[in-house]
């Protein structure tokens, strides 16, 4: 720290000055008589042997300020660092330097001034010197073994401050860190050593690079020589190949000229054939158009032929008569085809109706079969319930319950089996349910139950 801690400054005070006359005389102090405090500093005045705390709030003409004979400026910084350095002997001529950092906080400024605790660094140095074991920790280590010394010193100081913490009146002290500084000679030695090692690395690297450069130069020379030899060989080979190619081109050119002449003749012949095919195609298109006209409108074709002079008036009239007869034949043929289609449709309708009737008869037979099965199941259920009724009555009579009470057997059976009484099952006019709980379907209206023969529909009925 650049200034003392915790008492920054101490100053004795002269008697206060006086101003005014007679009853208006008043004592006061000048600003220059007192130190200038910072925001974290306070005054402690000594007044008549007592100590008075002032947080820089008292006026210069107050009684305690005027009567004070001494003033102290106390630093109230929280967790202010105080560094203490001690020399620890080593196994060599030089010493290890131990630096211990404490954090201090003033808890009672008046006690600090009263006890004269003006320099915490001096007090803490004396506190560490009281532990003699600290000065024996480095006797077994050389300067190069500073890391082992750091571990031992750190453990020893922390153990000492834990077992016997520092006590200063009005100040709370706490250990923050323990360091062992590297000796200057050892630092210089290690610096020189690193410089030598770096120089060795540089020299080794330079030698390796020079050796690699020499090898690469030799390799490049060999590669260039092989490349030069290969280039000469390839040049000679390419020259021979070029001469052979020229000779082949001359022979080939003479043959190509004859081939081109033949190709020209063939192309000219192919063009002539293509023109003939095109001409024939146009002729076919004209014939096709004329045929279309004749097929769709014969009268127009005849008129075209008459205009072109191919037909005279008598031939044209004869052709028109033939064409009219042909059209009449086509119309009669179409009417006959329409009649035949209608006749086939009537036959199909007759067949459909016959098939529908046959299907209805088959369906009716199936329904009658289902009703007979449902009636059989209903009769079996009735017989089962009658047997249950008789068995229950028999058991009741066997044990004498019928003599003791008046019981309705039908009601009793209904409660035991969940069935309907016998009278309801045998009631007249009721339709017996089917096996699956649905009523039997009624007979289909309009169908004879005894009819088994297929009755066909006549063609006259449909038409």
- Dump pLDDT digits (tens) for 278-332: 887 776 776 666 656 555 556 666 666 666 666 666 776 777 778 778 878 888 8
What does pLDDT average to over the chain? 80
Q: 171: which 2 tokens?
A: 């100040």
The count of other CB atoms within 10 Å of the CB of residue 422 is: 16
Inform me whether the pLDDT recorded for 252 exceeds 50: yes
Q: Find the Cα–Cα–Cα–Cα dihedral 136, 138, 142, 143, rounded to 10°.
A: -140
Q: What are the pLDDT digits (tens) for 109-161? A: 999 999 888 899 999 999 999 999 999 988 888 888 889 999 999 999 999 99
CA angle 352, 355, 359 (to 5 degrees): 140
**CB burial string 10-25: b at 16+ within 10 A, e below:** beebeebeeeeeeeee
Q: 17: which 2 tokens?
A: 């000055």
- Between 330 and 427, the more confident residue is 330
Phi, psi of 157 (to 5 degrees): -70, -40
Q: What are the pLDDT digits (tens) for 147-197? A: 999 999 999 999 999 999 999 999 999 999 999 998 877 777 777 888 888
Q: Which one, of 409, 410, 412, lies nearest residue 427 by Cα?
A: 410
Q: Find the Cα–Cα–Cα–Cα dihedral 340, 342, 346, 347, rounded to 10°.
A: 20
Inform me whether the pLDDT recorded for 425 exceeds 50: no
Q: What are the pLDDT digits (tens) for 228-249? A: 888 888 888 888 888 888 888 8
Cα–Cα distance, 123 to 165 (Å, whole number): 13
Instruction: Tell me the average pLDDT across 347-375.
Output: 90
Looking at residue 143, the DSSP 8-state letter turns out to be: G
| Secondary structure E strands in 37-187 | 41-47, 50-54, 70-75, 80-89, 95-106, 171-181
Cα–Cα distance, 146 to 90 (Å, whole number): 10
Report the sign of the C-alpha dihedral through residues 419, 421, 424, 426, in that order.
Answer: positive
Cα–Cα distance, 189 to 203 (Å, whole number): 21
Inform me whether the pLDDT recorded for 406 exceeds 70: no
Cα–Cα distance, 274 to 277 (Å, whole number): 5
Cα–Cα distance, 17 to 3 (Å, whole number): 31
Inform me whether the pLDDT recorded for 204 exceeds 80: yes
The structural domains of the chain, with segments of one domain joined by +, span: 1-77, 79-182, 331-446+456-462
Per-residue pLDDT, 435: 40
Q: 47: which 2 tokens?
A: 């007044």
- Quick one: CATH architecture of 79-182? 2-Layer Sandwich (3.30)
Cα–Cα distance, 197 to 186 (Å, whole number): 16
pTM across the whole model:
0.43
Per-residue pLDDT, 78: 93
């Amino acid at each position: 720290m650049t200034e003392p801690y915790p008492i920054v400054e101490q100053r004795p005070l002269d008697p206060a000055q006086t101003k005014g006359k007679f009853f208006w005389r008043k004592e006061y102090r000048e600003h220059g008589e007192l130190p200038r405090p910072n925001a974290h500093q306070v005054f402690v005045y000594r007044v008549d042997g007592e100590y008075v705390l002032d947080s820089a709030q008292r006026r210069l003409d107050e009684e305690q300020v005027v009567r004070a004979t001494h003033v102290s400026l106390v630093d109230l910084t929280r967790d202010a660092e105080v560094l203490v350095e001690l020399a620890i002997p080593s196994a060599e001529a030089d010493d290890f330097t131990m630096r211990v950092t404490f954090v201090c906080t003033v808890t009672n400024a008046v006690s600090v001034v009263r006890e004269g605790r003006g320099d915490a660094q001096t007090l803490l140095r004396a506190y560490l010197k009281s532990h003699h074991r600290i000065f024996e920790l480095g006797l077994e280590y050389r300067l190069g073994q500073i890391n082992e010394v750091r571990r031992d010193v750190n453990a020893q100081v922390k153990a000492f401050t834990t077992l016997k913490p520092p006590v200063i009146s009005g100040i709370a002290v706490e250990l923050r860190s323990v360091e062992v500084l590297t000796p200057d000679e050892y630092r210089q030695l290690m610096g020189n050593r690193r410089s030598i090692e770096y120089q060795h690395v540089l020299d080794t690297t330079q030698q390796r690079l020079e050796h690699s450069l020499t090898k690469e130069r030799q390799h490049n020379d060999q590669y260039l020589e092989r490349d030069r030899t290969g280039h000469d060989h390839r040049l000679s080979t390419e020259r021979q190949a070029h001469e052979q190619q020229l000779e082949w081109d001359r022979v080939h050119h003479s043959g190509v000229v004859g081939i081109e002449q033949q190709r020209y003749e063939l192309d000219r012949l192919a063009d002539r054939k293509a023109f003939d095919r095109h001409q024939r195609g146009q002729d076919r298109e004209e014939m096709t158009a004329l045929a279309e006209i004749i097929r769709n409108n014969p009268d127009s074709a005849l008129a075209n032929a008459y205009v072109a002079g191919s037909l005279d008036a008598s031939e044209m009239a004869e052709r028109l008569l033939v064409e009219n007869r042909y059209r009449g034949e086509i119309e009669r043929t179409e009417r006959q085809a329409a009649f035949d289609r209608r006749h086939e449709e009537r036959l199909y309708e007759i067949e459909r109706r016959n098939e529908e009737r046959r299907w209805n008869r088959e369906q009716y037979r199936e329904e009658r079969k289902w009703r007979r099965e449902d009636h059989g199941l209903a009769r079996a259920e009735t017989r089962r319930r009658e047997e249950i009724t008789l068995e229950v009555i028999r058991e009741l009579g066997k044990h004498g319950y019928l003599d003791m009470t008046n019981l309705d057997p039908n009601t009793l059976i209904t409660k035991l089996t969940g069935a309907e009484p016998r009278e309801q099952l045998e009631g007249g006019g009721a339709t017996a349910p089917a096996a699956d709980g649905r009523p039997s379907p009624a007979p289909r209206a309009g169908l004879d139950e005894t009819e088994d023969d297929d009755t066909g529909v006549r063609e006259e009925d449909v038409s």
